[in-house]
Amino acid sequence: MSIAETYDAIGGVHRFMVDYPTTISYHEKALEIKKAILPSNHLDLCTTYNSIDFACKLSGDYTTGLSYYEKVLVIKEKKISQNSFLLAITYNNIACIKQLVGDYSIALI
């Protein structure tokens, strides 16, 4: 897992450098490793999914970003309390993307 964590860290550095394609590339490498060794609903996947969706959002690729936020939501809905602030953050992230693409009716739900 340390290699995956290293890829995630390098991706984070590139995000601060506003190099979103490279950011996403490193996080995808980390995700590939994590998916090979972790169950598909493991919470550690959420960290990398969130890193990818955030970089997608920053780069303006809202559709791809939303797809990763939705993967996070599926995992969190099964693994954490429905009253958890972590789940609320995920709902908020999805609503923000919906708002950015002009889908206000869904963003308010």
Burial of 63 (0-12, 13-18, 19+ CB in 10 A): exposed
> For residue 23, what are its two tokens?
């950011």
Say which CATH class 2-107 falls into. Answer: mainly alpha
Q: What is the pLDDT of residues 61-106, one digit of tens each?
A: 999 999 999 999 999 999 998 888 999 999 999 999 998 888 877 6
Q: Give the Cβ contact number of residue 23 at 10 Å.
A: 25
- Does the pTM surpass 0.75? The reply is yes
The residue ranges of every structural domain in the chain are 2-107
The pLDDT tens digits for 30-56 are 999 999 999 999 999 999 999 999 999
**End-to-end CA separation in angstroms for the chain:** 37
Which tokens belong to 16? 């601060």
C-beta of residue 40 within 8 angstroms of C-beta of residue 50: no
